[in-house]
Amino acid sequence: MSINRVNISGNLTRDPEMRQTAGGTQILQFGVAVNDRRRNPQSGEWEDVPNYVDCVVFGGRAEPLSRFLSKGSKVAIEGKLRYSTWETKDGQRRSKLEVVVDDLEFFSPRNDQGGYQQTSGYQQGGYQQQSYQQPSYQASAPSYAAPAYQASAPSATAPAVTPPPSDVYDEDIPF
């Protein structure tokens, strides 16, 4: 038995690229920067080292997501790894490991134009991690999550999700 699941959170490294196959399937591609902490062998100090992860969304969720994502958007992604190999026109073999996105949550607050504000932590010389921000639970920006068995089916409009009141705690639940 093997398990192929990936959970990452980070900032988009570039604006998403939208394209379409000859068969009409929409494809949205973008990159996410994820930090790793390592000790510098010379100085002994801990440093943030960025890892850049390519991500792809297929089907009906690609176009709506493209309207809400932009460079610097903070997101959490769940998906699976896919390894691809191909040969270039000059005969070189290339390969790539990417995340096929099953679920995406926004961590950046919405701006007035309907998109999400950039919370870019990019600076000269690398990526600097930002603090966690509570995702926005608004009906106009659902997470576009669909179970894997429904990925190719057209998505129906999801009902509005309302979070529980902030003054409800685990101790208040009667079971």
Report phi then psi at 172, rounded to 5. -80, -15
CA distance 30 to 136: 21
For 123-135, the pLDDT digits (tens) are: 333 334 343 344 4
d(CA 80, CA 33) in angstroms, rounded, equals 17
Q: State how far the Cα of 73 lies from the Cα of 66, in Å rounded to an integer.
A: 12
Average pLDDT of the segment spanning 3-24: 93
**pLDDT level of residue 120 (50, 70, 90 thresholds):** very low
Q: pLDDT tens digits for 41-93? A: 999 999 999 999 999 999 999 999 988 899 999 999 999 999 999 999 999 99
Phi-psi region of 166 (alpha: psi -120 to 50; beta: other; left: phi over 0): alpha
pLDDT digits (tens, 9 = 90+) for 137-151: 333 344 444 444 444
Write down all domains in the chain, each with its CATH number in brackets. Answer: 6-172 (2.40.50.140)
